[in-house]
Structure 1
Amino acid sequence: MTTLAAIPVKGRAPRTGYDRAEFGQAWADVDRNGCDTRNDILRRDLRQLVLKAGTRGCLVLRGTLHDPYTGTTIRFVRGQSTSTAVQIDHVVALSDAWQKGAQKWTSQQRTAFANDPLNLLAVDGPSNQRKSDGDAATWLPPRKATRCSYVARQVAVKRRYGLWVTSAERAAILRVLDSCPTQGLPSGGVVRLGGGTVEAVAPAPTRSTAPKPSVAPPAASATDPRFGTCREANAAGYGPYRRGVDPEYDWYQDRDHDGLVCER
């Protein structure tokens, strides 16, 4: 492949100084479409989408993933204990990029890299965990039919961002591409909002008209009550909370880094 031949071959630099925070806020809205990157990729890669009402076609509640790494079909359901079944993989891992050129980039360049749809795929969560920060020399998708497109995507990403490969990595990529000499390179693209069914919202219950009190009631709190866990908040009828919108978001742990906590 001509593109692979143009990528420099060097040794792996030390991992010293690497931290996920070096690549900016997780799933930042870098394309300014009003939606975080994680939900952008879920909408692009999942089928039978159900979107949350009131999010302008952004937030994915449910969907079906035909996983490229394992060949299995995975039902995605947003929730504290279920969202991790489908994860967003950096095809060129952030740590791998750090050790092969990214540590010299500006923070803006690293944020752009971490949120580039070209380098992102919705995949089986356990497979993504097993891959960790491996390159082609240490990890390939278990589904062999995916390997050609997988390494081609790595080549496209590394070429776009000026990253290098190690000699072992280059050899591994060539072994895969030998079986598919006509494999092309992906080009990324824009991820648009919408594309699924918006979940119906139940009408608000009718309230009886109460007489005006003679004394003004105390001012309402600016925030909801604070609970020890999202489970307790949900049980009391509170949540969800969105990053950058609801101050309550900072009280709870965003385990799937989707910008939303205490989903119900």
Structure 2
Amino acid sequence: MAVAVLAGCGPLDAQDIGVDHLAKSASPKATSKSGGGGRGASPLENPDGTRPGLAPITAAKEKAKARELIEKVPTKKRGTKTGYDRDKFGYAWADSVDDVPFGRNGCDTRNDLLRRDGQKLKYRDGSTCILVSMTLDDPYTGKTIEWRKEKAAEIQIDHVMPLSYDWQMGASRWSDAKRKQIANDPLNLLPVDGPMNSSKSDSGPADWLPPVNEIRCSYAVRFAQVALKYELPVTEEDKSTMLEQCA
């Protein structure tokens, strides 16, 4: 599949490829972190997605809260993918989005997410938006990725609830504005290892989960949070898998 080149804040903001525009890329230079799980907030304490990362949910009481939230998500079978196109969710990483955090703040969505989750941030000279290097603790793999803009695809922005999945579960009937919201809502977005993101494609939790076991309940909660916010169902198989992760 050809690499899709998507503009960000400036001419050098090539390719973020989210889960529906995938590229094969070399593995990033990374080191494994003991324990995995990345840094940041528990999704139960970060319901709008404005805080960084995806911390593990480990306490029994918190797992009970997670299951209670997941139980609220309705289920149905996947619909058809006919008519799906990434462009129907708006220009990739557009800032001109209403009613989502970081929207219309003068910085494109990709750079918003990189600076939300990254550490040791370095910006292009004269810019407070365009990142040229950073360090990311990837929640999916447990790696620390030393990222440089010259190899932008080493970090991709994952749509936790993939856009193709959204389309099949009801977003095909939405307005353009609502589809643009879910595509750029930080609640639905995580910067992660590029090749790992590509391996996910448009899978639901029954078919793909992060390799780091400790993060799987948090991932299931985030998937449920997006589904509930946008009133989307998930498949019965996906819901069952999500509940299992927080058992």
**Gap runs ≥5 in structure 1:** 179-264
Aligned partner of 1:46 in structure 2 is: 118
The answer to whether 1:7 aligns with 2:73 is yes
* TM-score normalized with structure 2 length: 0.70
Distance in 2 between residues matched to 1:36 and 1:173, nearest whole Å: 31
Q: CA deviation at 1:127?
A: 0.3
Identity of aligned residues (%): 49
Do 2:133 and 2:149's aligned partners in 1 also have CA atoms closer than 8 Å? yes
Where 2:239 maps in the other structure, the secondary structure is helix
Distance in 1 between residues matched to 2:222 and 2:166, nearest whole Å: 14
The answer to whether 1:19 aligns with 2:70 is no
Aligned partner of 1:216 in structure 2 is: none
The answer to whether 1:37 aligns with 2:103 is no
Deviation readout 1:185-223 (Å, 9 max, x if unpaired): xxxxxxxxxxxxxxxxxxxxxxxxxxxxxxxxxxxxxxx
The answer to whether 1:28 aligns with 2:97 is no
Q: CA deviation at 1:4?
A: 2.2
- What residue identity is the alignment partner of 2:130? L
Aligned partner of 1:232 in structure 2 is: none
Q: CA deviation at 1:53?
A: 2.1
Aligned partner of 1:93 in structure 2 is: 162
Deviation readout 1:141-174 (Å, 9 max, x if unpaired): 0011111111110000000000101110011001
- What residue identity is the alignment partner of 2:81? R
The answer to whether 1:65 aligns with 2:136 is yes
| Count of equivalent residues | 175
Where 1:121 maps in the other structure, the secondary structure is strand
Aligned residue runs from structure 1 range 67-86, under 5 A: 67-79=138-150, 82-86=151-155
Distance in 2 between residues matched to 1:14 and 1:164, nearest whole Å: 14
The answer to whether 1:140 aligns with 2:206 is no
Pair member with larger Rg:
1
- The runs of at least 4 consecutive aligned structure 1 residues that moved more than 4 Å come to none
Deviation readout 1:77-109 (Å, 9 max, x if unpaired): 002xx1100110000000011111111110000
Aligned partner of 2:195 in structure 1 is: 126
Aligned partner of 2:171 in structure 1 is: 102
- Residue in structure 1 matching 2:231, options 162, 170, 192: 162
Distance in 1 between residues matched to 2:68 and 2:240, nearest whole Å: 14
Higher relative contact order (CA 8 A, sep 6+): 2
Distance in 1 between residues matched to 2:137 and 2:108, nearest whole Å: 22
